Structure 1
């Protein structure tokens, strides 16, 4: 960050000296009326979203506090390399400023105050301002949102240039409010592959809203650069390293979106289809036209040059349980249907169950069952079959959670024993089940785990640790399974969490013991959260279950409640399992 020397005034003759004296007098009067601080205000979206060729200039005769506030507002507009924000900098600062290092995102309310004293920090032509607010997060270089919390403070030095205050030292990167960010950036899932199943996994990124015509090129560029830091160890790409586009991704004369890649090398037919699938699904949110995927001007899949979303259906995992699988509930130690309320079929109906989980395909059950010794053990098996004991009895065990099924159906389920040991229990190929410990130190170092849910695509997990919500990724290198890239989500809001479940691949639902935030929906990156209507609920919310295209069901201190979205009032669940102590669960 550079500083520009204050320019001296030169005059010739008495008239010039008189003009200079008058200019100094006016400046001193202006300094005497500079306010000490600005009132916090909620800054909402500005303008109607239309772009103009030239950004609006800074307001004339603005005091330093106002100028810094307007600089933050202007910074939200990314057009022209943040030309609107650059207009607030001195000429020297413009040359030193890097707007591409990061985007710092603040809560809606922030303020500006002077720092230093009148002899040091403040003078006729120089002043320091402290920009203060609350962190929301950062948009990092890979265009992923990284949540942050706590206080945000950054000092900014201003100088007079041509009679107007300008920023002489601005922090590298962009400082915006969450409203400004939401107005100018849109979320786009970029798709990579689950290495164990060759199915597509969404990696949430953000692209500039305008110009819309540039979005496809940006999305493909992000895809070629690889997964974000949060998923880098958990997913892979079928596109070889070093592959680039030969031309901009844009709509051709035939109306199709053209993606022309450099040489892909030797690829199997399946790899070529996976490459196309990644590109087509990643572009789904930014174009509605058909897509041509080429390599060196030749179709990647020779027999099919044009692609649409329906053509890649085999590679898109069905994370939504079959509609016929209505869910189950543990009621008074017994497994019952969540839909009808009657007992489940088979031997599982007779176990003394603490908690349970049904696999996504509906074929298997995992149940935490009370043992004769007084502890609990995990039993696993077919839905209508006797469940085999898969672990030794322990004192405590979280409700189970299934990995997505593979070619042989559901073969892996996770749980946590004694709040500290994460176990992966897998079919051993001999009709039984064996367990191994997951390296989850990044998670367990934060406290006792009381709930853990795998995403239905199998690459992420959500956990309640010490009453707070954590998200992480699952890494399986073929030898060791571990939990990586763990991050705390909304610690200022969610600090009494009791239960969590996945509503979709990019969204979780959390229940808590708080009267203020009993049920909350949170995006997987923590950028956005919505509070569900609290009417009719009586916390604590002991259990939550959610799934794509399903009503959310929660268990509070009085029974089971359900709702279709965050604006609706909770209604009593219409089955006869809606009683206090019931634990509902959808497949997953």
Structure 2
């Protein structure tokens, strides 16, 4: 059973571990080893300060320590096996996934004796981590039992499910997320593949580069490129004088441009995880690049900086007009961009090209596209259009027509615009007879996308089809705890999501792109519904029930929302790049 099939299968509550074990047993994941493959590329870390059986501990505390130790995969989960009876330790099959609960509730089940007790363990299953540190969000109930007996006067687990189960806090203490960078389809942008890596590594760089060499996770494979040959091998080590040495073999078929792109993948994968250079990169015994030689710095690949700030003035849509925001007042822009009532707008990350949806009320909507000083083209007309979203450049635009069809618009030479439908066959797998897409947003890498379907948040990847077009990859629902309350969504520069809701208790959330973490943002002075969101690296913008609000991420001591000074008392929508 593939990963995609496994996720289609997990739709209902896992009422017992028997179901969970069945799912684990039929899973096929990339590679043939357990999750500790992430940590097996370096010298063996130690198990110091990992929970171990404490003499005289009560049974329930012993069981809790077992779950804490289960987060550590070293030596076939040796730390966790110390809590088992000898027979159970020999027979326990850990499987290939680690299952994560939001919490672990323990209560005795039935009558207990002086030498035997059974505990019911309950919680919400919020995700699993498979081979290669790939996280898969889930949201379903979990309940099973653990039998404990006394061995030489100490409590040990005698009967347990064949699965590794941990709670969220122990998981995030033992593993941390790191981006592995691959190339976009045109090789002009880097695309992050988020992986969870064991924190007790003696060489984080070895793990990261080994994951890079192994290739992207399944859901990303059809949306990105990697120039590292599938049969290439790599050795990574720390240098005595500082920096990292990365030695590839099997790279003889690459030209100089391709080698430079491989260097960008290596450097940004390491630098984004605070592994400092210089980065000495060789291929088959020679420097990777004739121009750069053996040694690389971040500055050598700065053109592909995946988190470079995009210089763009703050604008807003206010009463159907696009305005520039200064310190004191909004100033309407001149030219065609304000020649009509504007419902929404997107500005390209390069070239200041505007994509504007016009119309209001029951009138039809039109999508106009053009540079600020040019005459626009009307490229789409429909009953409804979502706010446009640009790809990774100033040539490709996406919008959703009538809540059903994602369309792709490509600006060609001489001003021609080519329209095509994005293959959306994957939506047939979404529960519900009537699916309506209310928002569709592309990340700056041009590959990752997020959409709101019937108030729920889904991420996907824009894949290349066999005819040169685009299709939506497998959908992943994230932010499950939000239910169907989401009404706005957009990307933050770091690749996480901002989600605005209609819930007065939790109006704004930050959600990791892989669904692993959902955090409610401060809500002081913010009133639901939050109908629009946007962010720079330092400021978050949200249009709530009253006005356009801002939250400065750099002011840790002032975590409350304030109105944008130039727009006090006015309900506007912030416009940033894309």
Q: RMSD between aligned alpha carbons?
A: 2.6
Pairing partner for 1:553 from 529, 541, 551: 541
Secondary structure of the corresponding residue to residue 120 of structure 2? strand
TM-score normalised by structure 2 residue count: 0.84
Alignment match, 2:277: 289
Deviations 1:446-476 (A, max 9, x none): 5211111110111111112111211111112
Q: Is the 8 A contact 2:343 2:360 kept in 1?
A: no
- The number of residues matched between the two structures is 522
Deviations 1:324-347 (A, max 9, x none): x21322222222224451111211
Deviation at 1:530, TM superposition (A): 2.5
Alignment match, 1:572: 563
Alignment match, 2:26: none
Alignment match, 2:256: 269
State the alpha-carbon separation in 2 of the partners of residues 90 and 297 from structure 1: 51
State the alpha-carbon separation in 2 of the partners of residues 430 and 373 from structure 1: 34
Pairing partner for 2:410 from 415, 420, 426: 426
Alignment match, 2:371: 382
The 5 Å alignment of 1:391-430 reads: 391=380, 393-405=381-393, 410-430=394-414
1:91 and 2:96 matched: no
Deviation at 1:59, TM superposition (A): 2.7
1:332 and 2:319 matched: yes
Q: Is the 8 A contact 1:348 1:386 kept in 2?
A: no
The more displaced of 352-361 and 328-337 is 328-337
1:311 and 2:300 matched: yes
1:208 and 2:202 matched: no
State the alpha-carbon separation in 1 of the partners of residues 241 and 577 from structure 2: 45
Pairing partner for 1:450 from 433, 438, 456: 438
Q: Which has the larger radius of gyration?
A: 1
1:359 and 2:348 matched: yes
The more displaced of 54-63 and 459-468 is 54-63
Deviations 1:278-317 (A, max 9, x none): 1121112152131211223322224410112221112334
The more displaced of 284-293 and 155-164 is 155-164
The 5 Å alignment of 1:98-117 reads: 98-99=93-94, 101-107=96-102, 109-115=103-109
Q: Is the 8 A contact 1:452 1:462 kept in 2?
A: yes
Alignment match, 2:486: 497
1:140 and 2:130 matched: yes
Deviations 1:400-455 (A, max 9, x none): 111121xxxx1111111111111111124342323211122434745211111110
Deviation at 1:370, TM superposition (A): 2.2
Alignment match, 2:177: 187
CA distance 1:373–1:64, shift in 2 (3 Å)? closer
Pairing partner for 2:424 from 419, 440, 447: 440
TM-score normalised by structure 1 residue count: 0.83
Secondary structure of the corresponding residue to residue 472 of structure 2? strand
Structure 2: gaps of 5 or more residues: 1-44
Alignment match, 1:4: none
Deviation at 1:111, TM superposition (A): 1.5
Q: Is the 8 A contact 2:307 2:493 kept in 1?
A: no
Secondary structure of the corresponding residue to residue 149 of structure 1? strand
